[in-house]
Structure 1
Amino acid sequence: MPLDALTSHLTGLARERGGVLGVVPGLVTEPGPGWIPAPDLAREPYDGLLALVDETAERWGAPRHVAAALLWKTYGYWHTLPMALGWALGRRVPLMRFGDTLVRSSEAGVTVAARTVTVAVLPGDPLAGAPGTVVTADLGAAIREALLDGQRPLIRALGALTRVGERTLWGSTAEGVVHPLLRSGSYDEAARLLKEIGEPVEGLVVPDGSGYRRRTCCLWITLPAADPCASCCVA
Structure 2
Amino acid sequence: MTPLLLTDALRPLNVTLGAVRRRNGFNAVHGLADPLVLADTAGWTPAGALLDGSALPALLDTAVQRWGAAPHAAATLAWKSYTYWLAMPAVLSWAVARRVPLVDADRVSVRFGGGPGAALVQVGLRRPHVAVLPDDPLAHVNVPGITVVPDETLLLKTLRTSLLDAHLDPLSERIRRDVKVGRRTLLGSVASGIAYAVLRSAHALHGSAADTAGTLLDALDLADLVDIGMDETGRPTVHRRTCCLAFTLPQPKVCSGCCLR
TM-score (normalizing by structure 2): 0.82
Q: Residue 27 of structure 1: which of 15, 29, 36 is its match?
A: 36
2:17–2:29: 8 Å Cα contact kept in structure 1? no
Letter of the 1:190 partner, please give it: A
2:220 is matched with which residue? 198
* Alignment pair present for 1:234 and 2:256: no
CA distance in 2, matches of 1:84, 1:186: 12
Aligned residues: 231
Give the C-alpha shift of residue 125 in structure 1: 1.3
CA 1:198–1:3: 2 relative to 1, 3 Å: same
1:208 is matched with which residue? 229
1:168–1:217: 8 Å Cα contact kept in structure 2? yes
Give the C-alpha shift of residue 172 in structure 1: 1.3
Name the SS for the 2:139 alignment partner. coil
Q: Residue 152 of structure 1: which of 155, 165, 169 is its match?
A: 169
2:148 is matched with which residue? 135
Any idea what the Cα deviations from partners look like across 1:145-202, whole Å, max 9, x if unmatched? 012202122211111121222211111111222112113143122102211x233x23
Q: Could you list the runs of 5+ residues in structure 2 that have no partner in the other structure?
A: 1-7, 203-207, 231-235
* Alignment pair present for 1:175 and 2:203: no
1:101–1:113: 8 Å Cα contact kept in structure 2? yes
CA distance in 2, matches of 1:19, 1:168: 24
Give the C-alpha shift of residue 33 in structure 1: 3.5
Larger radius of gyration: 2
Any idea what the Cα deviations from partners look like across 1:201-222, whole Å, max 9, x if unmatched? 2321112323121111111122
1:50–1:161: 8 Å Cα contact kept in structure 2? no
* Alignment pair present for 1:79 and 2:86: yes
CA distance in 2, matches of 1:190, 1:141: 15
CA distance in 2, matches of 1:189, 1:114: 24
* Alignment pair present for 1:119 and 2:130: yes
Q: Residue 108 of structure 1: which of 108, 119, 130 is its match?
A: 119
CA distance in 1, matches of 2:27, 2:239: 27
* Alignment pair present for 1:9 and 2:16: yes
CA 1:203–1:18: 2 relative to 1, 3 Å: closer
* Alignment pair present for 1:220 and 2:261: no
1:38 is matched with which residue? 47
Letter of the 2:148 partner, please give it: V
Give the C-alpha shift of residue 59 in structure 1: 0.8
Give the C-alpha shift of residue 32 in structure 1: 3.4
2:97 is matched with which residue? 90
1:7–1:25: 8 Å Cα contact kept in structure 2? no
CA distance in 1, matches of 2:42, 2:36: 17
Letter of the 1:140 partner, please give it: L
Name the SS for the 1:213 alignment partner. strand
CA distance in 2, matches of 1:169, 1:155: 7
Any idea what the Cα deviations from partners look like across 1:101-132, whole Å, max 9, x if unmatched? 11101320000112122111112212114332
1:36–1:102: 8 Å Cα contact kept in structure 2? yes
Give the C-alpha shift of residue 18 in structure 1: 5.5
2:67–2:250: 8 Å Cα contact kept in structure 1? no
2:41–2:109: 8 Å Cα contact kept in structure 1? no
